[in-house]
Structure 1
Amino acid sequence: MSTAARPRLILRADGNPRIGLGHVMRLLALGEILSEQFTCVFAIQEPADAVLEQLRMVCEEVVEVPPMPYDGEPAWLTQNLLQPTDVLVLDGYGFGHSFQQAVRPAVARLVYVDDLLAFPQLADLVLNPAGGVSPTSYELENPHTRLLLGPHYAPLRQAFREVTLPERTADSDTVLVCLGGADPTHQTQRVADELLALSSVQRVHVVVGSAFAGWEVLTHWAQTHPRITLHRNLPAAELCLLMQQCGAAVCSPSTVSYEYCAAGGGLLFLLPVADNQQNIDRFLRGEGMALPYPSITNVLTSPEADRIADRLRQQQGHWFDGQISHRLQQEFTALLLPQSAFQLRPVVAADSAQLLAWTNDPTVRQFSFNSNPVSPSEHEQWLTARLGYPQHLLLIAEDKDSKQPIGLIRFSLEGEDATLSYLLDAAYRGQGLAPQLLVEGTRRVLQERPALRRVLGHVQQRNEASIRAFRRAGFQLLSEANSSQPDSVTFVWVN
């Protein structure tokens, strides 16, 4: 897709030594992930030179917002930056309900990256990477708001998103300490000192970011401790490699903990340094991926340390499965679709005649893998074998107002995969409904069968309209060929 054809993704966050760089780094990672789908523009107040350099490596444009209170900013953004076709992404505590209310009319879609659950949401999409958050935790003023909750949607930097690792071999006597890039509560030195008091710890790697305010003091202190190695503002690839060399880590329950899990994991000890980290802290510990920091002495000196590390690593690998980019790309593509004017309901026996008429439509048969007409007896046998059986889900799409049936989407389930097929009534083709049907149907089957990991669709290569529909819906082309149908391609949606 050419740059001119891509919609703009406006990423709005701030970062400095006082509040840290978490919001900025999170949106920068999101920009990396979506850079092929959108033209990325980052808007920020008073960025440091090091931050500006990082932003310009990812985004086509960086806009410096003049210093002003947040309540005055929507007017400036509307007059100087925002366009009606933009997708605006907000990440920060100053972008509350009144801010969203002011900017929402100026853009095509509004996205809010949340970790506070502090106010009613107007956004079209809310992304909360913290695990253990329920949809019932949200007060949604927009009935169409899409919620992306948990670490499966955490925008991680490229070095951490799709890493494939061999069996972890790092020992727990090498410990990473990273309490966020800024460490706003100044606990890094204390934690490192406590680790040095443990005879089982051979090496401590301390990582801080460019916004860390006590670098000179920390450097002076480390000169008298030969088991300490300091790292400042590490590039993502170098940090990932360092994490793989550390069999244990003390991290704030934030993106850095997610990065450690994604890099291969190990003994992860959590030390919250901000109020908004409580949800991630509870989730990582509750799912068996991490331990509270006060337990570190007992664990690192225990003969069971390796067994505990293996247990944590197994859980970490379940949640950080290398599919984060895929999930976010498909969701942000689907975000651009208009709201559907139809609703889905299960197929019942009384729909049989309608389904048979659709099945034998000449255009449907032309693009079916079996192009022969279907007889009424064959159809009845087929429908009877699918209604009421858990390995099949058949859904009719009908107009919300007239209740007129407009199409069908059906799923065959096997293991962790669901394979779909769909059709539209001839009177409703060419109206852009196919991508909406694919998205609505896929979300429905994943809601009813949450254990599914993938939804697949096989399309004949000559069926260009259906291929376009899958792409517009956010499905991605699988690299693997469909050996059973060599003249077809396969699309996938990842759960």
Structure 2
Amino acid sequence: MRVLIRADASHAIGSGHIARCLTLATVLRNGGAEVAFACRELPGHMLDRLATQGWRTYRLPADTGTATIDIEAALPWQADIDALQAQLAAGERFDWVIVDHYGLGHQWQTAARQWAPRIAAIDDLANRRHAVDLLLDQNFSGTAGAYAPWIDTKCRGLFGPRFAMIRDEFKREPVPVRALARRVLVNFGGFDAAGETWKAMQALQGINGLEVDFVAGTGNPEWERMQAMAHGQSDWRLQTHTEQFAELMAKADLFIGAGGGTSWERAALGLPTISIAVAGNQQANGECMAAVGAHLYLGPRETVSVESLRQAISVLVSNQGLRQSFAERSRSLVDGLGVQRVAAALAGEFIQLRPATMDDARLLFDGRNAEAVRRWSVQQDSIGWSSHLIWLASTLANPQRLLLVAQALDGPIGVLRYDLDGVRAEVSIYLFEGRFGLGWGRVLLSLGEGFIQRHWPQLRTIEAQVMPDNQASIKLFRDGGYEQADCRFERALKDHPHD
């Protein structure tokens, strides 16, 4: 699978778009995909860093024919397409183009289909039309209802913190909530062009007993003043960049920062947070997270004074109960598997279903005997090797039974079994170790439905039986369009090849 990501970073835009796309790109590459980035050479771009990390990059000129510095303003889409076309080799093709850019909408997305049959967008705003096959908004404010006016009904939506894309280093034990907060971490993104770190420094000055780490880019407009102030504080550390950001977060008792992608990293760690929106696209999510008790949101940066921030810090430092509540609620929102779910949604277009053979005997034996699979099977005891071989040989010779293996770029995903009875078939499904909870089940059901309709054109109905306590499978079949009657599910097939 070949993927092209179109995103930008700059002092004005920040580094958040590139950061979350890089998280996704890493998972895709680990799964066997080839990923490239196309970015404008704006002041503060990250192209050199991407190239150093081994990513293929396409450098687009900074001048797009507009002088606007509004990060949400539309770019001249045709000029952007032309610039990208000039960088790509003639006839170059990708399987997906992913665009994470507020300035590029449906016209750019439609034009980008010259390079890929599938287009995906990552968004936070729900304020413009999209012409994509898949749309991701990992924020609370991103809902199917919010995007209904902006996407086609055939577009697949991935909405909410279930799809929060966080890096592996943030999947660790929760941050302990101590009686009195002693260590604070301050970060307002990779550049902090708004200068909020300086505001936090002023608010923290005079609050004794705190050890503080400040991480702020050199593009910060208050950099010299921040250096001077930090120099006079023995328990303060100011740095422009760190490769150990997750470690700093894990050591902190309190975080002060923006409402961007770092929100989900903090949530995964259960790190109590004071959040300030530094851009308009962060406001709705900050409000939604505050409404469910996941952090203390002070509002847009223009409305937050040094004194109000100082008061908020003083309250949280000594209030263990409030910090504990923030920690527990935020951790309940993010399980750390969001980026794998997004990668699965992209890779699901390239899953291959094939009939099983005797060469799959060991794969099927290990998969069926896994504890997570046996727990929800009618027969919960382990199956012996000899019995398994006899069963597999019998299954493969049975024209009324179809056993399918689902294969992705990085290995097998799961197994589907169909048993035919006239114009009806019963389906059984299980996933292999490491594939649970990522959305693969629904992908397999959909692919399997098309496969068996071609294999058994007379088929009219698919049935399934689920153990009463197996909530994951119950949800799977409900979401897959099956009608439920007690522990049995049934789906009528609408498209019949011979009708």
Instruction: Give the shorter-chain TM-score range.
Output: 0.5 to 0.7
Q: Partner residue of 1:444?
A: 480
Identity %: 22
**1:320 match: secondary structure:** coil
Contact map agreement 2:201 2:226 (CA 8 A) in 1: no
Alpha-carbon distance in 2 for matches of 1:15, 1:375: 58
Code of the residue aligned with 2:154 in structure 1: it is H
1:241 and 2:247 aligned: yes
Deviations 1:30-54 (A, max 9, x none): 1112112410101111166882343
- Paired position in structure 2 for 1:310: 324
Native 8 Å contact 2:164 2:334 kept in 1: no
Residue 263 (structure 2) aligns with: 257
Which of 163, 171, 183 is residue 153 of structure 1 equivalent to? 163
Q: What whole-Å deviation, never above 9, does each CA across 1:435-465 have from its counterpart, x for those lacking one?
A: xxxx9958427999xxxxxxxxxxxxxxxxx
The 1-side partners of 2:420 and 2:125 are apart by 55
The secondary structure found in structure 2 opposite 1:319 is coil
Matched, 1:219 2:244: no
Q: Give matches, 1:14-163, under 5 Å.
A: 14-35=8-29, 36-46=31-41, 51-69=46-64, 70-71=76-77, 72-78=79-85, 80-81=87-88, 83-138=92-147, 139-160=149-170, 162-163=171-172
- 2:81–2:108 Cα contact (<8 Å) kept: yes
User: How far is the alpha carbon of 1:129 from its aligned partner?
Assistant: 1.5
The 5 Å alignment of 1:169-248 reads: 171-199=180-208, 201-209=209-217, 211-235=219-243, 238-248=244-254
Identify if the C-alpha distance between structure 1 residues 214 and 256 changes in structure 2 by more than 3 Å, giving closer, same or farther. same
Stretch of structure 1 that moved more, 279-288 or 40-49:
40-49
Q: How far did 1:260 drift? A: 1.9
| 2:265 maps to amino acid | E
What does the per-residue CA deviation read over 1:286-321, in whole Å, with 9 as the maximum and x for residues that have no partner?
221101234762563479611111111111211121
CA contact (8 A) 2:175 2:252 kept: no
Partner of 2:433: none
Tell me, yes or no, if the aligned pair for 1:90 and 1:112 is still in contact at 8 Å: yes
Aligned residue among 267, 276, 299 for 1:271: 276
Give deviations 1:117-146, integer Å, cap 9, x for gaps: 111111111111111322111124433211
What residue is the counterpart of 1:472 in the other structure? Answer: none
CA distance in 2, matches of 1:179, 1:333: 33
Deviation of the 1:270 alpha carbon: 0.9
Q: Which amino acid aligns with 1:408?
A: I
Contact 1:9 1:39 in 2 (8 A): yes
Contact 2:175–2:270 (8 Å) recurs in 1: no
Aligned partners of 2:116 and 2:290: how far apart in 1? 39
Q: Distance in 1 between matches of 2:104 and 2:152?
A: 16
| Structure 1 residue 337: Cα displacement | 6.4
Once residues 116 and 284 of structure 1 are traced to their aligned partners in structure 2, the CA distance between those partners, rounded to angstroms, is: 16
The Cα shift of 1:261 comes to: 2.0
Letter of the 1:258 partner, please give it. W
CA RMSD of aligned residues (A): 4.0
Unaligned runs of 5+ in 1: 1-6, 339-358, 381-392, 421-438, 449-495
SS of 1:152's partner is: helix
How far, CA to CA, are the matches of 1:409 and 1:66 in structure 2? 56
TM-score normalised by structure 1 residue count:
0.67
Deviation at residue 87 of structure 1 after TM alignment = 0.7
CA distance in 2, matches of 1:64, 1:375: 58
2:416 equivalent to 1:362: no
Quick one: distance in 2 between partners of 1:361 and 1:132?
52
Distance 1:166 1:214, change over 3 A: closer
Tell me, yes or no, if the aligned pair for 1:270 and 1:281 is still in contact at 8 Å: yes
Aligned to 1:474: none
Q: 1:413 to 1:178 in 2, by over 3 A?
A: farther
Q: What are the ranges of 5 or more consecutive residues in structure 2 without an aligned counterpart?
A: 65-75, 299-307, 353-394, 405-414, 427-441, 485-499
SS of corresponding position for 2:327 = helix
Task: Look up the SS of the partner of 1:32 in the other structure.
Answer: helix
Quote the residue 1:486 is aligned against: none
- How many Å separate the matches in 1 of 2:2 and 2:396? 43
The reply to whether residue 283 of structure 1 matches residue 281 of structure 2 is no
- SS where residue 472 of structure 2 aligns? strand
Check whether the contact 1:133–1:279 (CA below 8 A) recurs between aligned residues: no
- Given the superposition, is the C-alpha separation of residues 187 and 442 from structure 1 closer, same or farther in structure 2, using an over 3 Å criterion? same
Distance 1:442 1:55, change over 3 A: farther
